[in-house]
Structure 1
């Protein structure tokens, strides 16, 4: 066997072995007592937008595509979700302090305004997550109302 064949065979064996290592997935379909919907009213249209564009990465319940079952794709996706949830987790929103809620809401608003969310690597595959200008403005208006309510300690 040539060195190239040995290397390719070794790489193939490593890839096959990697398929047997399955880290826990970010999936918890049970009742979510700390979800943002338990803290504030989310209009149906806004809830639909958040579900299609945000929740896969920023909640405790990701809907994984078929290709997420293949390693190392699964590792990449899970690392991305961990990083996203560290920034904002709609599933734990109730646990945030008022100050942190305000900060997270401002960050969502800024991300929508500057177009950094949802991220391009997500929308390349999930075309339905691409938000129209009207959808962005609807979420931004909802956030503005939430922030005003938080400032008045209504939540």
Structure 2
């Protein structure tokens, strides 16, 4: 009985390798990206690219394990979910009220240590933000929120 179950599990693992999730390989930079609406310093742009863009832009740098399912399927779902919450590549399309809210959420999530998520920073050590980097992002958000003209 155990042998049958093991064979079934192995067969399922082999078969799901043929499922290829759609890759998020568009351009992270476009006429709709966040740099066309907010001012961003090279330092902040670098921090956001390193810590946020894999899940929150139209371009993901996939690690080798993304080619192995079920991990690839999980990553694909996670990236889709991240882009639904915030997409830096489409930021300029947001209405001012939504932009303001998204900027507020960026500061909150980063300040409270919710973003980048621990499962991401576990494998991407350079994405883990220091206190100084968090302060840089939060200060940038505060400055940019002051510039948004709300209706």
Shorter-normalised TM range: over 0.9
Q: Which sections of structure 2, spanning at least 5 residues, go unmatched?
A: none
Distance 1:55 1:19 in 2: 26
SS of equivalent to 1:62: coil
Tell me how far 1:152 sits from its aligned partner: 7.4
Tell me how far 1:40 sits from its aligned partner: 2.1
1:14 aligns with 2:12: yes
Distance 2:144 2:29 in 1: 23
SS of equivalent to 2:148: helix
Tell me how far 1:30 sits from its aligned partner: 7.1
Tell me how far 1:85 sits from its aligned partner: 1.1
Distance 2:7 2:143 in 1: 59
Tell me how far 1:61 sits from its aligned partner: 0.4
Aligned partner of 1:109 among 107, 110, 113: 107
Tell me how far 1:38 sits from its aligned partner: 2.1
Q: Tell me the equivalent position of 1:5.
A: 3
Is 2:54–2:60's contact at 8 Å kept on the other side of the alignment? yes
Distance 1:31 1:115 in 2: 26
Deviations for 1:51-79, whole angstroms, at most 9, x for unmatched residues?
11000011110100000100000111111
Q: Tell me the equivalent position of 1:139.
A: 137
Indicate the structure (1 or 2) with the bigger Cα radius of gyration: 1
Q: Tell me the equivalent position of 1:47.
A: 45
Distance 2:10 2:140 in 1: 50
Q: Tell me the equivalent position of 2:77.
A: 79
1:35 aligns with 2:28: no
Distance 2:128 2:29 in 1: 28
TM-score by length of 2: 0.94
Number of aligned pairs? Answer: 151
